[in-house]
Amino acid sequence: RYQCSQVPVSDMLPVVAVLLFVTLASSNSTQPPDPQPCPPEKLTTYRVVLHTFWTRDLFPKHYPEWRPPAQWSKLIGKSHSRSYSLFRLGQKASPGVKAFSEIGRGDLLEAPGPGVFDEFVAPAIPTGAGRTEAQFFVDGNHSRVSLMSRIIPSPDWFIGIDSFNLCVDGNWLDTITIEVDPLDAGTDNGFTFTAPNWATSPQGVIYRITSRYPSHPAGSFYYPYLKRLPPIATFQFIKTREYELNEVFHHSEDDKRYDLVNLDQSNTISVINSNNDIQLEMEAERREQEMRLQQQLATKLPSATLTPPPPLALAP
């Protein structure tokens, strides 16, 4: 569920060109069906820009200056259908999310999964405040986007978006900006940016970090006098182009229509020494043709007796 800070969600639905600042509040695992999907024959490209605002002025408590200084990992994202989930608030993190949020290992997250349409990666941000961007594709059957970037240093904290639908009322959003808060993967008990590894056992669930939760005075994001944390980052999605596909392919039907033919040994053709075999066959055929020609000549031309001409008479 997404709460808009400037425009109510009910007013946002019929809008095609949208420029909003949205606060990502929570995520519901049981999503309502799409009221009107975007056309599946249109392929659309988006550019996502991650802006980060992690500075000492906004977040002075325990601000990391060195070993390592405040920074962000690479951004990993996917466009996908309703069936895929990168992460979800209130649920346990997958092994891929756990490895990425704790140590920045992204190979498990970057592996393809069912329902994924496009995968993209944006470069890391080497400072607390900065920007990075990437491009990706969506279509009517894969209109959602999920992405995440790790907070460095941190026990298991990250920022991200879960299954945001870029298709609204059958149209692609032109542009939208989403504010995000830090998230805890629920796999490490550390309260500070540089806390030593302390695994959560049993594993907890992913939750949003606020200015008052977790309510521990040692927490690096614990600012009880603030109603909410300042925005630590925003994700901006900008539609760059729409493509009209000439034909829609249904992969399931194609798989049924075309079978893979496996040739057994009896159907294989050996090409070893093929040049020598062809040369021998041509030589044998040439000799056979010469023999047939000689037989035909012997049949059509019977043998004849040749008499020598009379001697010439010499003049006296």
**Lowest pLDDT segment from 29-38, 160-169, 188-197, 241-250:** 29-38
Can you tell me the mean pLDDT for 258-266?
35
* Residue 154 scores a pLDDT above 50: yes
pLDDT tens readout for residues 269-312: 333 344 455 556 656 666 776 776 676 666 655 544 444 555 54
Domain extents in the chain: 42-244
pLDDT of residue 29: 38
Give the pLDDT band of residue 170 (cuts 50, 70, 90).
very high
Q: Which fold has domain 42-244?
A: Immunoglobulin-like (2.60.40)
pLDDT tens readout for residues 2-21: 333 333 333 443 333 333 44
pTM score, two decimals?
A: 0.69
* Residue 200 scores a pLDDT above 60: yes
Residue 161 CA to residue 148 CA, distance in Å, equals: 7
pLDDT of residue 42: 87
Which tokens sit at 250? 């249904």
| Residue type at 47 in one-letter notation | R
Q: CB-side exposure of 206: number of CA atoms within 13 Å?
A: 28
Closest listed residue to residue 121, CA positions, set 154, 79, 181: 79
Cβ atoms of residues 109 and 172 within 8 Å: no
Can you tell me the mean pLDDT for 226-250?
86
Q: What is the DSSP letter of 221?
A: T
